[in-house]
Amino acid sequence: MELTNFLKRVRRRTWVIAAAAVILIVGGSVYWFGFGVHAGAQGAQAATTTATASLQTMDKTVTGTGTLAPAVQDDVNFASSGTVTAVNVVAGSTVTAGQTLATLDTLTENANLLSAKAALATANAQLSNSQSSSDGSSAAVAKIAANQAAVSVAQAAVDAAQTAYNGTTLTSPIAGLVTAVNLSVGDVLSNGASSSSSSSSSATGSGSAGSSGGAGSSGATGSSTSTTSTAQFTVVGTQAWQVTVSVGATDLKNIALKNQVELSTTENPSFFGTVSSIGLLPSTTTGAATYPVVVTVTGSPTNLYDGVTVTSAIVYQRRTNVLTVPSAAVTTANGTSTVNKIVSGKTVKTTVTVGETVGNLTEITKGVSDGDQVSVPTFNPAGAGNGTGTGTQRAPGTGGGGFPGGGFPGGGFPGGARPGQTGIGSTNG
């Protein structure tokens, strides 16, 4: 009997302990999730850092991508007839302006030149004789006039023959890279065209170019589409570049000639250009009407290659000395914006007037001065609004220097670096 009573007491005690343990665990969980987590969230909300209101540069931009292409490409052909005696370059050769590309047999052209010079000498002798023997009569005067005309005709023939003779040596009109050679030694040319099948090497040229004579001509490339050149030689300039960017109709109205452009490629993260032309006719190949805007690269940037993709930001408005604070420091509720300004070590809630928001910075037009310290929460409570912003903007960022060349309507771009400014990143509005 005593053993039975003992076991009953033990079981009762065990149940009591177990029940107490369960109550303790449940109570702890309720406290943790009801109070501990909430307190932790309040602590996270209360965590802040400080930032200084400062003057920055804010840009409005139109961003896009394009393809880098040479600004100058020449198709160069012989204008004279003859047999090719030498081809001095191959595809891939780098040439200077005036460098010889190829030569023709000069036998025929030299003979023509000598004959023309002989005819000119005869005409000059006849003119001299008529002038020295003239008696002033009408017949003598007429003879002198006829001989003078003959001299002019003979001189023109000499000039043409000299040009043809000079044309037997074909030179590059520009400095650049030879991208196509469609001529071989032994080819017979008739008025510049080959009458035999050329076995020469060829390369691919890109963009459009002007047609050539002995001196060649240049044309600006309107696109980066590459086509196989059929010219005897194609020379692409490597010292002048351009990018064609497609711009939507809405953004086009903001762009003007000479607008500054910030450019970047994988190989060159920062170089500059200016808007050199704005297309009048739209293209709808992408499903929406876009206009071609040609950007001419300025300065002498390195690591530029034909056909690479370029990211561009066309700056159509620049504002300097804009007072800004981090956007996270601004709280907007019921149409009123405030910041927590640090005054004598204390936090003072201050009403401010905000302007535009660019990236993580918000413009302050009233309520804060340059150099004021503001509190920035490191945890943003749900539902708290930060600032307002409009337009296509680019946030201040590290500027590696000014824009070489070009103007800027309504303000201008000071040349050289902008000390104290932070870098610039662009967004579409």
Q: Is residue 2 part of a domain?
A: yes
- The torsion of the CA quartet 277, 280, 281, 284, rounded to 10 degrees, works out to 70
Number of residues written out for the chain: 429
pLDDT at 19: 58
Which of 191, 206, 237 terminates a domain? The answer is: 237
Q: Is residue 142 part of a domain?
A: yes
Q: Is residue 42 part of a domain?
A: no
137: its two tokens: 């009569």
Q: Distance between CA 263 and CA 269 in Å, rounded?
A: 7
Q: Is residue 244 part of a domain?
A: no
Using alpha carbons only, give the angle 428, 401, 422 rounded to the nearest 5 degrees: 55
CA atoms within 13 A on the CB side of 273: 25
Residues 328, 417, single domain; the answer is yes
Q: Is residue 79 part of a domain?
A: yes
The domain tally of the chain equals 3
Q: Is residue 43 part of a domain?
A: no
Instruction: Tell me the pLDDT tens digit for each residue of 360-399.
Output: 899 999 999 999 999 998 865 554 444 443 444 444 443 3
Residues 265, 137, single domain; the answer is no
60 neighbors 317 (Cβ within 8 angstroms): yes
Q: With residue 150 as reference, give the H or E element that holds it.
A: helix 138-166
Q: Is residue 40 part of a domain?
A: no
Q: Distance between CA 117 and CA 122 in Å, rounded?
A: 9
74 neighbors 217 (Cβ within 8 angstroms): yes
Q: Distance between CA 232 and CA 167 in Å, rounded?
A: 14
Residues 6, 55, single domain; the answer is no
Mean predicted lDDT score pLDDT of the chain: 77
Residues 267, 147, single domain; the answer is no
pLDDT at 347: 92
- CA quadruple 399, 402, 403, 404: dihedral sign: negative
- CA quadruple 277, 175, 234, 312: dihedral sign: negative
Chain centroid offset of residue 7 CA: 91
Residues 232, 267, single domain; the answer is no
Instruction: Tell me the pLDDT tens digit for each residue of 229-240.
Output: 688 999 988 888
Q: Distance between CA 212 and CA 214 in Å, rounded?
A: 7
Residue 246 pairs in a beta bridge with 292
Output the domain CATH number for residue 255: 2.40.420.20
Residues 12, 105, single domain; the answer is no
Regarding predicted confidence, which is higher, 220 or 267? Answer: 267
Q: Is residue 243 part of a domain?
A: no
Which of 194, 214, 237 terminates a domain? The answer is: 237
CB atoms near residue 28 (< 10 Å) = 11
Rg from Cα positions in the chain: 40
Which of 216, 237, 258 terminates a domain? The answer is: 237
Instruction: Tell me the pLDDT tens digit for each residue of 405-420.
Output: 444 443 344 333 333 3
255 neighbors 293 (Cβ within 8 angstroms): yes
Q: Residue 2 is part of which domain span?
A: 1-32
Instruction: Tell me the pLDDT tens digit for each residue of 129-186.
Output: 999 998 889 999 999 999 999 999 999 999 999 988 888 999 999 988 999 999 999 9
Residues 411, 283, single domain; the answer is yes
Q: Could you give phi then psi for residue 318, rounded to 5 degrees?
A: -130, 130
Q: Distance between CA 184 and CA 141 in Å, rounded?
A: 55
The SS3 call for residue 219 is strand
Residues 280, 224, single domain; the answer is no
270 neighbors 264 (Cβ within 8 angstroms): yes
Q: What is the pTM of this model?
A: 0.54
135: its two tokens: 């008696």
Residues 224, 255, single domain; the answer is no
Residues 371, 229, single domain; the answer is no
Residues 319, 426, single domain; the answer is yes
Residues 194, 336, single domain; the answer is no
